[in-house]
Homo-oligomer: A and B are copies of this chain.
Amino acid sequence: MKNKNGNTVPEKNIERLLLYRRILANLRREKKTAVFSHQLALMSDASPAQVRRDFMLIGYFGSPVRGYDIDQLIQSINEFVDAQEVQKVTLVGVGHLGRAILNYFQGRSDKLAITAAFDRNPEKVGRVLHGIHCYPTERIQEIVKAEGIDVAIITVPESEAQDVADRLVQAGIRGILNYAPIKLNLPPEIFVDNRDMLLAVEKIAFFARRRIRKESVS
Q: A residues near B, CB below 8 A?
A: 1-2, 8-9, 11, 14-15, 18-19, 22-23, 43-45, 81, 83, 87, 89, 95-97, 99-101, 103-105, 108-109, 111-112, 150-151, 153, 155, 173-177, 181, 183, 188-218
Contact = CB atoms under 8 A, between A and B. Distances in A.
Contact of A175 (B108, B150, B196, B205): B205
A202 B108 CA distance: 11
Contacts of A210: 1-2, 9
Contact of A11 (B11, B99, B207): B207
Given A18-B202, A174-B208, A192-B215, 13 more contacts: A14-B206, A89-B201, A97-B100, A101-B197, A108-B198, A109-B202, A151-B205, A174-B209, A175-B204, A175-B207, A191-B211, A193-B218, A194-B216
13 contacts: A1-B210, A14-B207, A18-B202, A81-B206, A96-B96, A150-B208, A175-B208, A191-B214, A193-B200, A196-B217, A196-B218, A199-B218, A200-B218
A87 B19 CA distance: 31
Contact of A8 (B1, B8, B19, B212): B212
Interface of A, secondary structure class, is: mixed
B203 A11 contact: yes
Nearest to A80: B206
Contacts of A8: 212
A198 to B, nearest CB: 6
A97 B169 CA distance: 27
Given A97-B100, A192-B215, A216-B11, A44 B203 contact: no
A31 B81 CA distance: 46
A155 to B, nearest CB: 8
- Most chain B CB neighbours (cut-off 10 Å) among A173, A181, A210: A210
A181 B22 contact: yes
Contacts of A191: 204, 207-208, 211-215
A130 B40 CA distance: 41
Contacts of A81: 202, 206
